[in-house]
Amino acid sequence: MPFPPYLAASFLSIVRCRAQVERALRTATLRRPDSEKVTYQFLALRTASDGVVENICLELRSKLNLISPHKADVFAIHMQFLINTLKKYLSDEVVSLASDTRRMMLSKAGTGGRGIGKGMGNGPEGLTALENLERLGRVYVLCLTDN
């Protein structure tokens, strides 16, 4: 099973944003009133990450009635993946929105958190899908890590 295309495309846009800001500004910082140094790159990554995750959540919520329980389980796993992978860059509001959306997907799936992952497939198929998702996460964490 390949990486979910919407996740791969979303992460690609975030990584591309990082590269563009890095190329343009290098290590330029922005001073905040509390003397905390924050790089423009971090602000760009936060904005891009918040936008991607927020829009995925809003799309899932708008289509909740059309999502099957099986797909809801898969989307719940994807939401947890997004939260785990981008947690350094997500604002508290977007983490809350993503967590609430994940809970909605679990409720729709009827698992309530128990038996999560069954939508990815049982046995070797499900394990392979989860391993692919973990691999994708490791790649993007490496791409987003400061050097």
* Mean pLDDT for back-to-back runs of 10 residues, the chain (147 residues): 72 83 75 70 89 95 93 89 90 97 92 50 55 73 66
- pLDDT of res. 31: 62
Cα 77 from Cα 135, distance rounded (Å): 14
What is the reported pLDDT for 58? 95
Other CB atoms within a 10 A radius of the CB of residue 4 amount to 18
Helices H, strands E: what count in the chain? 5, 2
User: What pLDDT is attached to residue 83?
Assistant: 92
What CA–CA distance (Å, rounded) separates 123 from 120?
Answer: 9
Report the predicted TM-score, pTM, of the whole model to 2 decimal places: 0.76
Q: How far apart are CA 86 and CA 43, in angstroms?
A: 13
| The pair of three-digit structure tokens given for residue 2, joined into one six-digit string | 């390949």
